[in-house]
Amino acid sequence: MKVPFVDLKIQYRDLKKDLNNAVINTLKTGEFIMGKNIENFESAMSKYLHVKALGCASGSDAILLALMAEGIGSGDEVITTPFTFFATAGAIARLGAKPVFVDIDERTFNIDVKNIRKVISKKTKAVIPVHLFGQSADMSGLYKAIGKNKIVVIEDVCQAIGAEYKGKKLGSIGDYGCFSFFPTKNLGAGGDGGLITVNDKEKYEKVKMLRLHGAKTKYFHEYIGINSRLDSIQAAILSVKMKHIDDWNKKRCKIAKIYIKELKNYVVVSDTADNLNHIFHQFAILTSQRDELLNYLKEKNISAGLYYPLPLHLQKCFLYLGYKKGDFPISEKISQQIISLPIYPQLTQKQIKYVINSVKSFFDKKSL
């Protein structure tokens, strides 16, 4: 038995006819940059997310564009979590602003809103909550922490497309929402792709220009923007796949439920806190024997993931910020103990059982 961490080949097999048609039809039209595919996909996503949406080249660019639209740069501070993918903080630093980290909640791995108020300063321009692994951050707590301060909220929804918070789709709550269509995401393209949602009409128009070198009319530039368009072939692929996202997310939740029930006596399993909807982009478990378990699973032909082995405040590129080991103890502890088990809609019952039995047998053997 073999259990890959993700299997995009099966997803393609299931949607082959529609995906092939979508790509071939785009090739036939020759409309590769912007155009109908982008308009159709943006309109479908706007409807799905209940907020205006704009395609862009990647999730990383979506975060960058949101920060650019707010004019954030040198001298500004942006609060976020150190337990996320690099791009969240990378976008802040690329613009010359300072990422200000806040430790995470031990149960959800998301920013601990209790700690936000302490780091708000006159320089704070924005906060980027990350809905990590597919679970919403505590958005009410976050807004309470911000209070009356004029701070923009940029949701990093790169791992949580389709998840909700108190009945609202993630990405429609903050000022901006940033999505990634990296192929392994719950909704993945056939390459890079991203989407940015914008709540304010004026800001929406600004982002629309920023992604096209700051121009509304070609060759007339109102802002210094970037080239960050969603590729038209990717938009065609995503339009086919997005019809399945709710069904796929439901299947992930079903698998997560089985994992939780079967493994909760062996490892610390994902904890879905009250009201925090989860679409299980990752299924994370915690164990003090992480590396041994990882090797054991590898021997059993099960690929597990490690997100993330080193929190951002300890990354070489961020040493200039002056953080040190011990500053964010929960992020540091979790990065030593976390493993992500395979979770995707196409996993078979046999594969799920095999993963569960393998994890159990690792701990049973240890206790002999």
Ligand X SMILES: Cc1ncc(COP(=O)(O)O)c(C=O)c1O
Residue ranges binding ligand X (CB under 6 A): 58-60, 84-85, 87-88, 130, 156, 158-159, 180, 182, 192, 194
The reply to whether 185 belongs to the active site is yes
Q: What share of the chain is helix, strand, coil (3-state, %, to 5)?
A: 45, 20, 40
In the complex, what is the shortest distance from the CB of residue 105 to ligand X, in angstroms, rounded to a whole number? 16
In the complex, what is the shortest distance from the CB of residue 57 to ligand X, in angstroms, rounded to a whole number? 8
> CA–CA separation, 256 vs 144, rounded Å?
31
CA angle 134, 198, 211 (to 5 degrees): 100
Phi-psi map region of 34: left, alpha, beta (phi>0 left; psi -120 to 50 alpha)? left
Contact 54, 195 (CB under 8 A): yes
Nearer to ligand X by Cβ, of 11 and 58: the residue is: 58
> CA–CA separation, 232 vs 234, rounded Å?
5
In the complex, what is the shortest distance from the CB of residue 180 to ligand X, in angstroms, rounded to a whole number? 3
In the complex, what is the shortest distance from the CB of residue 107 to ligand X, in angstroms, rounded to a whole number? 18
Residue number of the CB atom closest to ligand X: 59
Nearer to ligand X by Cβ, of 37 and 110: the residue is: 110
Nearer to ligand X by Cβ, of 128 and 236: the residue is: 128
> CA–CA separation, 63 vs 1, rounded Å?
40
Nearer to ligand X by Cβ, of 87 and 359: the residue is: 87
In the complex, what is the shortest distance from the CB of residue 2 to ligand X, in angstroms, rounded to a whole number? 25
Nearer to ligand X by Cβ, of 158 and 196: the residue is: 158
> CA–CA separation, 117 vs 145, rounded Å?
5
* Residue 38 burial (CB count, 10 A): 21
**Side chain identity at 17, as an amino acid letter?**
K
Q: Catalytic: which of 52, 125, 169, 185?
A: 185
- Catalytic (active-site) positions: 185
